[in-house]
Amino acid sequence: MIRMVNRGHCSKRKAVSIRIIAVILALLTSALFILLMEHNPIDVYISIVKGAFGTKYRMIETITKSIPLIITSLGIAVAFKMKFWNIGAEGQIIMGAFMASWVALTFPNLNRGLLLPMMFVAGFIGGGFWALIPAFFRARFNTNETIFTLMMNYIALKWITYLQYGPWKDPNAMGFPKIANFSEAAVLPKLWGVHTGWVIALIMAALVWYFINHTKQGYEISVIGESENTARYAGMNVGKIILVTMIISGGICGMAGMIEASAVSRTLSVEISGGVGYTAIITAWLAGLSAPIIIGVSFLFAAMVQGGSFIQLAYQIPNSAAEILQGMILFFVLGSEFFIRYRLIVNKKRNTHTDRQNGKDLC
């Protein structure tokens, strides 16, 4: 008979190795998938690695792709820590980019030292406001935030489509539906070949880490995440904390949008977020909502996306294969959490006490 026994406390090393086994199993399962498509999985995996890191150009591309992923994951982690299921990062990125673009297009002649900070603030406000709306109703009426934030994504996307095909259409684009390019002053400068977004991403990671682990608000967020009632009995103003946290969470995502608009596309378009808001949910969760780990996981996922677009060219394997791989990894890691918390025992003994002790010894 197979029984489950709570491991109690599990050592960090054991937990990490279980997760790594899960990722390996995910890669093996995906390998079967690739075999079904009549490709050699080892070749394909090697090509993914080559496509992500093979040349200096690809390396820069991978880093560039990881920047919005890191920042957005940080924003999502802040909300998830509170068990506020913010899956509206996509919309928050878009609205951050929208506000930043509004500043960039309205004051094209300002100098860079003034314009870029203004765009950052605008991006933060745009994303923060977009998250504040569902947060308000959640705090006031306990409205389901998961679906609310998701609906806000679609509304934001339609809003940008409206602008791009309507009032913001660039008259100089010969009728092509596109929004005007930013002036040179609105573009983030480069440092060591990559736009300075990477510096900002690292600073943000440090700030979020400090915020969650070493500030009063960060502590309150964790308490609400554990139990809203506990927080209420402890005398915390739960509603206010939810609002402030969500402004921060959405604001951070909005900054990712600002960076994408300013440094990568140099304009606003409907493709500005390109699904980063959804991928970031995975990376934030896989990283256990820890800011330093988010950097590593996001980088690996960016590599997978970059390598994925490379195998599309090399093997005619559609780009969405990378999406399936991501889903697969997530499934396996989610499933592996079980083996971190529980231990399976195959025997006929019914003595829970000795099992507990065995569990501790093995763990």
Partner 1 sequence: MLTLFLAAAVVAGTPLLFAILGEIITEKSGKLNLGVEGMMLMGAVIGFKVGLATANPYLSIIAAMVSGAFGASIFAFLTITLRANQVVAGLSLTIFGTGFSSFLGQGLMGEVISDSMKKFFVEIHLPILGQIPFIGEIFFRQGIFVYIGYVLAILTGIYLYRTRAGLNLLAVGENTAAADAAGIRVSLYQYIHTLAGGAFCGLGGAYLSLVYIPSWQENVSAGRGWIAVALVIFSKWSPYRAIYAAFLFGGLDIIGFRLQKFDIHFSQYIIDMLPYVFTTLVLILVSIRESKENAPPAELGNPYFREER
Interacting residue ranges for partner 1, rule: CB under 8 A: 4, 6, 85, 87, 134, 137, 141-144, 146-148, 150-152, 154-155, 158-159, 161-162, 165-166, 278-279, 281-282, 285, 318, 320-324, 326-328, 330-331, 334-335, 337-338, 341
Smaller CB separation from partner 1, 5 or 363: 5
Which residue, 30 or 62, has its beta carbon nearer to partner 1?
Answer: 30
Where are the extended beta strands (E) located within the chain?
Answer: 2-6, 190-191, 194-195, 342-346
Which amino acid, 190? Answer: K
Tokens of 100: 């930043």
Nearest CB to partner 1, comparing residues 37 and 234: 37
Of 45 and 53, nearer to partner 1 (C-beta) is: 45
DSSP 107-131: -TTS-HHHHHHHHHHHHHHHHHHHH
Please report, to the nearest 10 degrees, the dihedral formed by the alpha carbons of residues 181, 195, 162, 110 taken in order: -50
In the chain, the largest separation of any two C-alpha atoms, in whole Å, equals 79
Count of residues for the chain?
363
Distance of closest approach, residue 148 Cβ to partner 1, in angstroms:
6
**Phi, psi at 350, each rounded to 5°:** -120, 15
Phi, psi of 6, rounded to the nearest 5 degrees: -65, 130
Angle, CA of 114, 118 and 123, to the nearest 5° = 150
Residue nearer to partner 1 on the CB measure, 115 or 322: 322
Report the C-alpha gap between 215 and 176 in whole angstroms: 49
Rounded least distance, CB 190 to partner 1, Å: 32
Phi, psi for residue 293 in degrees, rounded to 5: -70, -30
Say how many C-beta atoms besides its own lie within 10 A of residue 285's C-beta.
17
User: Shortest gap between Cβ of 142 and partner 1 (angstroms)?
Assistant: 6
> Shortest approach of partner 1 to residue 4 CB, angstroms?
6
Nearer to partner 1, 244 or 345 (CB): 345
* Cβ proximity to partner 1, 152 vs 241, nearer residue: 152
Instruction: Output the smallest distance, CB 23 to partner 1, in A.
Output: 14
Q: Nearest distance from residue 28's CB to partner 1, in Å? A: 16
Helix (H, G, I), strand (E, B) or coil at 286: helix
Closest approach, Cβ 195 to partner 1, in A, equals 27
